[in-house]
Amino acid sequence: MEEAEPDQRGREVVQPAVNLPAALFTDQYGRRHRSLRISIIDKCQLRCTYCMPAQGLPWLPPAKLLRVAEISRLARIAHAGGVRDFRITGGEPLIRRDVCEIVREIATLGTAEDPIDLALTTNAVLLDKFAKDLKDAGLSRINVSLDTLRPERFKKLTLRDQLGRVFAGLASAKEVGLFPIKLNTLLMPGVNEDEILDLVDYARREGFELRFIEQMPLGNNPWNGSTIITQVEILEKIAEKHVLTEVPGRGSAPAATWYVDGGPQKIGVIASVTRPFCGGCDRLRLTADGMLRTCLFSDRETDLVTPLRSGASDLEIAQLMGLAVHEKEPGHLIGKAGFKLPKRGMSAIGG
């Protein structure tokens, strides 16, 4: 086991798991992967109709879920391979009681000289209970999924009357200083596109960074590419009331962003369907049952949990990850011949 040494802030920093060549997480198209999304559970307490059926899904049994030490070890190996952005997702990650322990473990990977970005995506229903502990554990920022500001519509969309809890969670996150707070809003035709301007105003009032998401063929929704609300339509709607100025230097970020009325407020659009951004993709995903996915829409998965639980070394696991990354597909095939719906739904991949 590696010796832990205190960094300048006196926090214990575990030495890198293994020294890895920087190119290990670079794929055959030259994309270097610096971002790892870690799904820590597939379960969720909401029933968003576009994500899962009302009765829920056959959840992973607890024994199949990666344990805190296993998540920590895989994060350390990824860090040694150059990953600096970590995002904790679900299902709903706050359902796992040890979520703060997981945050604390991953947070030790960052130092003042070589920081990491550690974020968490949540539906915020339990956030008012966890916000302070997450912040104390080392969480930097938070993404909250919020598709409507209307209680009745929220209840219809999620089959739960919990919008008040979401607002309470957002208020707690703000209070404890998680920043920035990003809102992810999935726009669905005939469902919530009439709230675009309300959501922009709400985000401005609260100081949140709002991102609209084009609906993708994932999960429990009868997707039809010709009916989605596109980036062009979203920007046209916002431009009815606001001046938008594109923010330069997007890098590998999924969202393109615009200043609203000269800023500082920004809005973003994640336009996976009409403006795919696979060419700059630097994201890897780890599922709650220990499979490495190199793409949201790929069905190719690399089993890391079996070698992890049968004594493989950090280097052996890193090599498995490196091989998977190297073979990563160029991008999704949405709307093209050969597109296949992934076997796993969004709740089991973790967005």
- State the nearest-atom distance from the C-beta of 298 to ligand SF4, in Å: 7
237 contributes a contact to ligand SF4 by CB under 6 A: no
Q: Which residues of 154-175 are buried (b: 16+ CB within 10 A; e: fewer)?
A: beebbeeebbebbbbbbebbbe
78 contributes a contact to ligand SF4 by CB under 6 A: no
Among 155, 331, 333, 345, binds ligand SF4 (CB under 6 A): 331
Stretch that binds ligand SF4, among 57-65, 143-151, 227-235, 290-298 (CB under 6 A): 290-298
296 contributes a contact to ligand SF4 by CB under 6 A: yes
238 contributes a contact to ligand SF4 by CB under 6 A: no
281 contributes a contact to ligand SF4 by CB under 6 A: yes
Q: Are 88 and 102 in contact (CB under 8 A)?
A: yes
Based on its alpha-carbon atoms, the radius of gyration of the chain, rounded to whole angstroms, reads 20
Among 102, 103, 295, 308, binds ligand SF4 (CB under 6 A): 295
- State the nearest-atom distance from the C-beta of 285 to ligand SF4, in Å: 8
Q: How far is CA 151 from CA 21, 122, 243, 334, in A?
A: 51, 18, 29, 33
130 contributes a contact to ligand SF4 by CB under 6 A: no
Q: 116: which 2 tokens?
A: 């990491």
Count other Cβ atoms within 10 Å, centred on residue 210. 27
Helix (H) or strand (E) holding 142, with range, is strand 141-145
Cβ neighbours of residue 190 closer than 8 Å, sequence gap 6 or more: none
Stretch that binds ligand SF4, among 74-82, 96-104, 127-135, 277-285 (CB under 6 A): 277-285
286 contributes a contact to ligand SF4 by CB under 6 A: no
d(CA 125, CA 262): 33
d(CA 75, CA 84): 10
283 contributes a contact to ligand SF4 by CB under 6 A: yes
Among 50, 86, 208, 297, binds ligand SF4 (CB under 6 A): 297
284 contributes a contact to ligand SF4 by CB under 6 A: no
Residue numbers at the binding site for ligand SF4 (CB under 6 A):
277-278, 281, 283, 295-297, 331-332
